[in-house]
């Protein structure tokens, strides 16, 4: 039971961190983490500061496959090749509320066979208030998945460990770089 209270405390702390990052320019070590767009928000009147609130978060879809067990659990000569795919989607569900989905797909292969495959969709409902229209999409696709990622990472680690493998500990993800890549991809067809 103690474990269930820790993620909630972490979520509250991360919400405060995200709110602080969206309300004021980051300094020191946080400067590299906070997106440049959020740092350039003009100062608003009191009560009009941008705010990001977590209304809920949940496991939306999950699959773990160990198709070649028990042979896949035997000691291997080489480390498996592990491919990770990450995607973020956001959709507006109310005037200021967004459902943000973090998709993680992990596939381990070795010797021409699948060792394990895991697919996870972890989602949250976020309330984004007082954001300038030009920064709303960036907040939904950068700041919100940053909050969701540690929870999704833990689910993936637990699933691989429970599947008989060492826990898959995903490296931190640069959601700002993902967002910038998405913008470039959207602009290329427009230029063609």
pLDDT value of residue 9: 37
- Please state, in angstroms and rounded to a whole number, the distance separating the CA atoms of residues 66 and 187: 40
pLDDT value of residue 67: 87
Number of H helices, E strands in the chain: 5, 4
pLDDT value of residue 79: 84
pLDDT value of residue 142: 96
pLDDT value of residue 101: 98
pLDDT value of residue 76: 75
Tell me the two tokens of residue 162. 């429970």
User: Domain boundaries in the chain?
Assistant: 53-182
Largest CA distance in the chain: 63
Q: Is the dihedral of CA 163, 166, 167, 168 positive or negative?
A: negative
Neighbours of 135 (CB within 10 A): 19
Q: Which fold would CATH assign to domain 53-182?
A: Bacterial Protein-export protein SecB (3.10.420)
- Please state, in angstroms and rounded to a whole number, the distance separating the CA atoms of residues 183 and 158: 33
pLDDT value of residue 47: 63
- Pair 16, 8: CB distance under 8 Å: no
- Pair 42, 117: CB distance under 8 Å: no
28: left (phi over 0), alpha (psi -120 to 50) or beta: left
Cis peptide before 175 (omega within 30 of 0): no
- Pair 130, 51: CB distance under 8 Å: yes
- Please state, in angstroms and rounded to a whole number, the distance separating the CA atoms of residues 67 and 164: 12
Burial of 185 (0-12, 13-18, 19+ CB in 10 A): exposed
Write out the chain's pLDDT in tens, 192 residues. Answer: 333 333 333 333 333 333 333 333 333 333 333 333 434 444 555 568 899 999 999 999 999 999 887 877 777 778 889 999 999 999 999 989 999 999 999 999 988 889 999 999 999 999 999 999 889 999 999 999 999 999 999 999 999 999 999 999 999 999 999 999 999 998 887 665
């Amino acid at each position: 039971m103690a474990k269930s209270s820790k993620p909630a405390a972490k979520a509250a702390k991360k919400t405060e961190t995200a709110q602080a990052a969206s309300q004021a320019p980051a300094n020191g070590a946080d400067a590299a983490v906070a997106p440049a767009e959020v740092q350039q928000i003009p100062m608003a009147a009191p009560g009009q500061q941008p705010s990001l609130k977590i209304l809920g978060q949940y496991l939306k879809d999950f699959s773990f496959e160990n198709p070649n067990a028990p042979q896949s659990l035997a000691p291997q000569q080489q480390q498996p090749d592990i491919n990770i795919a990450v995607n973020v989607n956001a959709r507006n569900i109310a005037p200021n509320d967004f459902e943000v989905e973090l998709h993680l797909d992990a596939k381990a292969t070795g010797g021409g066979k699948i060792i394990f495959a895991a697919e996870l969709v972890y989602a949250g409902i976020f309330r984004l208030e007082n954001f300038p229209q030009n920064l709303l999409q960036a907040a939904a696709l950068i700041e919100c998945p940053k909050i969701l990622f540690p929870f999704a990472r833990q689910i993936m680690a637990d699933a691989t460990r429970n599947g008989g493998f060492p826990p898959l500990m995903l490296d931190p993800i640069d959601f700002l770089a993902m967002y910038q890549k998405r913008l470039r991809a959207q602009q290329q067809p427009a230029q063609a």
